[in-house]
Structure 1
Amino acid sequence: MVQVRNCPTCNAIFNFNGLRDVCPSCFMKEEELFDKVYQFLRKRENRAATIDRIEEVTGAKKSLLHKWVRKRRLQPAQFPGLGYPCDNCGTLVTEGKLCGTCSESIKSDLKRDNNNRAFKEEIAAHQKQTYLSFKDDKNQK
């Protein structure tokens, strides 16, 4: 289903069909810029260029470069200086949404939370136990 949206780049109204997130004119400009970036990176001496260097030489914005890496149009395996920011801390990553450090931190937090829940359940189960004591009438005299 087609939706009418404003282009995030130029604010023009366009029909959004889920394939392109910008209007047709901005899409054409992005494609021209992509060709320029790709031609720059294809040169052997530029393959390890950082995002800052690519931005400086080609004029492509960092956000656009990150978008192309996320969509796998630019492969970090071929161009090791490329990546996109971790959703949590901003460190450059080449796959997924989180860097290894943030991912491990979340895993350890989840493990700690699971251990805490298990401990609380064990305490609650122990508190529900009923202890009965009987008086020994023979020894009570």
Structure 2
Amino acid sequence: MALANCKTCGRLFNRLHNDNCPVCVKEEDEQFFLVRDYLKENRRAMIVEVSEATEVEISTIIKFIREGRLATIDNPNLNYPCDSCGTAITDGRFCKPCKDRLNRGFSQTKDELMDTARKKQGGDYYYKRERDR
């Protein structure tokens, strides 16, 4: 039995699969159903409108989208800000330009680390393996 504190309310509970206690999971599910039902009737609603109408926080609605519980394909105006630049996006955490910038940065850092490792080894050199001799 794994005991944990709920990430939402701090209550101690028997953790099986979720980071939240059963009470908070139930409340979150109720919020999800409110948002889902509102979006069924108002497909073109923006995230701010949905939040105001259902009294569910925008961060919770974004969480539902990121978890795949809400589909932005069905709700074309359900945009939220990119975590990096704030541009409106419909999935993931970053917009395409930010993803590309991050990937370039990762590639550049990887190349620099590889160059540093090669220099520490004394440059590029080759040796014969035991079976080649």
TM-score above 0.5, yes or no: yes
SS of the residue 1:4 aligns to: strand
Partner of 1:86 in structure 2?
A: 82
What one-letter code is carried by the residue in structure 1 that aligns with 2:16? N
Aligned mates of 2:5, 2:86 — CA distance in 1? 27
Partner of 1:8 in structure 2?
A: 7
SS of the residue 1:78 aligns to: coil
SS of the residue 2:91 aligns to: coil
Segments of structure 1 that go 5 or more residues without pairing to the other structure are: 129-141
**Count of residue correspondences:** 115
Partner of 1:133 in structure 2?
A: none
SS of the residue 1:81 aligns to: coil
1:98 aligns to 2:94 (yes or no): yes
SS of the residue 1:53 aligns to: helix
Segments of structure 2 that go 5 or more residues without pairing to the other structure are: 124-133
Calculate the aligned-residue CA RMSD, in Å.
Answer: 2.8
CA contact (8 A) 1:69 1:84 kept: no
CA contact (8 A) 1:88 1:102 kept: yes
Aligned mates of 2:5, 2:58 — CA distance in 1? 21
* TM-score (structure 1 length as normaliser): 0.66
What one-letter code is carried by the residue in structure 2 that aligns with 1:61? E
Aligned mates of 1:41, 1:65 — CA distance in 2? 11
If you compute each CA radius of gyration, which structure gives the higher value, 1 or 2? 1
| Farther-moved stretch of structure 1 (93-102 vs 47-56) | 93-102
1:51 aligns to 2:47 (yes or no): yes
Matched ranges for 1:122-137 at <5 A: none
What one-letter code is carried by the residue in structure 1 that aligns with 2:35? V
TM-aligned CA deviation for residue 60 of structure 1 = 0.5
Partner of 2:31 in structure 1?
A: 33
Q: Closer, same or farther in 2 for the Cα pair 1:82/1:17, shift >3 Å?
A: farther
Q: Closer, same or farther in 2 for the Cα pair 1:50/1:12, shift >3 Å?
A: same
TM-aligned CA deviation for residue 108 of structure 1 = 4.2
* TM-score (structure 2 length as normaliser): 0.69
SS of the residue 2:93 aligns to: coil
Partner of 1:135 in structure 2?
A: none
TM-aligned CA deviation for residue 33 of structure 1 = 1.6
TM-aligned CA deviation for residue 48 of structure 1 = 1.5
